Amino acid sequence: MSGRLKRGLQALTVVAVAAYTTLLLYQGAAQLPPSRPSQQMFAARQVSRGWQERAPRSVGRDYDSLSLSLPESAPPPPTPPTHRGPPPRPPPAATTALQDVFISVKTTGSYHRARLPLILKTWFQLAKKQTWFFTDTDDPEFQLKTNGHMINTNCSSSHNRKALCCKMSVEFDVFLESNKKWFCHVDDDNYVNVPRLVRVLSGYNPQQDWYLGKPSIRAPLEILNRDNTAQKISFWFATGGAGFCLSRALALKMMPVASGGKFISIGEKIRLPDDVTMGYIIEHMLQKPLTVIEQFHSHLEPMKFLRPDTIQDQITFSYSHYSKDEMNVVKIDGFDKRIDPTRFLSIHCFLFPYFSFCPR
């Protein structure tokens, strides 16, 4: 074998081992039980399209507390709930329109100036009456800019479990007071493709129970039952940072356990973040399955794998920083990176080129 070929093969082996180790490390970090065949298929499918080409840095940060509640040893895997929802059916007689949707954006005082202007300039313009910002400070400037759509939850501004559950609890209660058919939660680092969201929702009947979103872990989460520590509970949850939606019918069923601040008590009891608490209430307490909608995207996914020809089909986008100079963003032509580091302006002009700030 020629020296050159040999070196090439050695290099390939190193790359393969490194990739495999990264995968193992990621799975280890998530402390999940070993996968069953069906889950392996789910994992394999994600690997094949490069979903976890590199473990996003923020997985650990965002779900740090999960490991606290996870069992030490790997227990026998649970029976997965009906994870894959039925495909969207033809729209019911009364199709969903924009005015039927309540969109809540979770933010915090220190992010108003950094994150809200981009949202207000882009997708908010397409859903001004439907979108509400849930924050933790009074901000007269943004109260004016959003036409009074800032809601001070009076929750703590820290990024801890209790504060996050407190905000989700207020979001849920404000939705219940509205007469909207759908509750959709997103974060302040999400871009929402508003017409696409409405179109996808109109494939589901809001008078039935629907929990629509996308998980960011590859197997259902397992926790110990605090009331009976011999028992394990397993459930899926939709990542809050990708956006998720609940039908009014489901929200009404959740009312007895989750309204009027009771959501916070459940979060405290199981000691898990807001989006995980939501999954616990819906999948475990109410036994209603999560329906996976692939078009929701959080910053836990590498954005660069979104194919340019599918941009208009996606419901949400996000962004994050891999490092000081490397960002996890959608790969899309458009504005210069210095003007549009998050790519949200470019996505917006691709989808809605008639906006005045878009190049002609």
Which residues contact ligand NAG (rule: CB under 6 A)?
151-154, 170
Q: How far is the CB of 155 from ligand NAG (least distance, A)?
A: 9
Specify burial of residue 322 (Cβ count, 10 A radius: 0-12, 13-18, 19+).
Answer: middle
In order of 150, 151, 172, 304, 336, the CA distances from 137 in angstroms are: 9, 9, 19, 34, 33
For residues 315 and 242, give the distance between their C-alpha atoms in angstroms, rounded to a whole number. 9
In the annotation, is 100 catalytic?
A: no
Q: Which two tokens stand for residue 3?
A: 């020296």
Nearest CB to ligand NAG, comparing residues 154 and 310 = 154
Q: How far is the CB of 46 from ligand NAG (least distance, A)?
A: 38
Q: How far is the CB of 174 from ligand NAG (least distance, A)?
A: 7
Catalytic-role residue among 136, 139, 275, 340? 275
Residue type, 340: D
Nearest CB to ligand NAG, comparing residues 62 and 171 = 171
Nearest CB to ligand NAG, comparing residues 106 and 214 = 106
- Measured CA angle at 19 (ends 13, 24), to 5 deg: 125
For residues 196 and 194, give the distance between their C-alpha atoms in angstroms, rounded to a whole number. 5
**Which DSSP category does 318 fall into?**
-
Q: How far is the CB of 151 from ligand NAG (least distance, A)?
A: 6
Look at residue 188 and give its three-state secondary structure. Answer: coil
Nearest CB to ligand NAG, comparing residues 46 and 154 = 154
Which residues are the active-site residues? Answer: 275
